[in-house]
């Protein structure tokens, strides 16, 4: 049994990966290590890829990320993050002012 599994007997393995940042500097080197580990050792029944799939929104980067996730040979579900919606994850100041704050967290806070 791989060390990362401990002494557990697992019937279903779900892998949670986040902040992939396709398009960022040295991202592909990191991705190759992660992808190999997931394919060869973890072999998850499902992969949850949450937040910041790309470094900045771009059709070609989304295509690259999809090809990379497809190559993992496991079903996956993607949930977008702030970098998937805004250039380098930054909301424009004008939009942030509409919410009364200068940071992206304002977009996710409930109005009171």
Predicted TM-score (pTM) of the model is 0.71
Spatial distance between the Cα atoms of 15 and 4, rounded to a whole number of angstroms = 12
Domains of the chain in sequence order: 11-108 (3.60.21.40)
- Digit-coded pLDDT (tens) for 7-29: 666 579 999 999 999 999 999 99
Q: What is the pLDDT of residue 30?
A: 94
- For the chain, residues with pLDDT lower than 70 are 1-10, 89, 91-112
Cα distances from 84 to residues 5, 13, 39, 62, in angstroms, run 31, 26, 25, 9
- Token digits of residue 5: 């599994």
- Token digits of residue 2: 């791989």
- Token digits of residue 41: 């050792």
Q: What is the pLDDT of residue 71?
A: 96
Q: What is the pLDDT of residue 104?
A: 46
């Amino acid at each position: 049994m791989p060390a990362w599994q401990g002494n557990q007997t697992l019937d279903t393995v779900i892998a949670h990966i986040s902040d992939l940042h396709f398009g960022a500097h040295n991202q592909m080197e990191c991705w190759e290590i992660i992808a190999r580990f997931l394919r060869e050792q973890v072999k998850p029944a499902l992969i949850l890829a949450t937040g910041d799939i790309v470094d900045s929104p771009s059709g070609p980067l989304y295509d690259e990320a999809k090809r990379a996730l497809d190559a993992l040979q496991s079903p996956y579900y993607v949930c977008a993050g702030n970098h998937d919606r805004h250039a380098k994850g930054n909301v424009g100041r004008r939009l942030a002012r509409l919410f009364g704050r200068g940071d992206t967290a304002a977009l996710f806070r409930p109005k009171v």
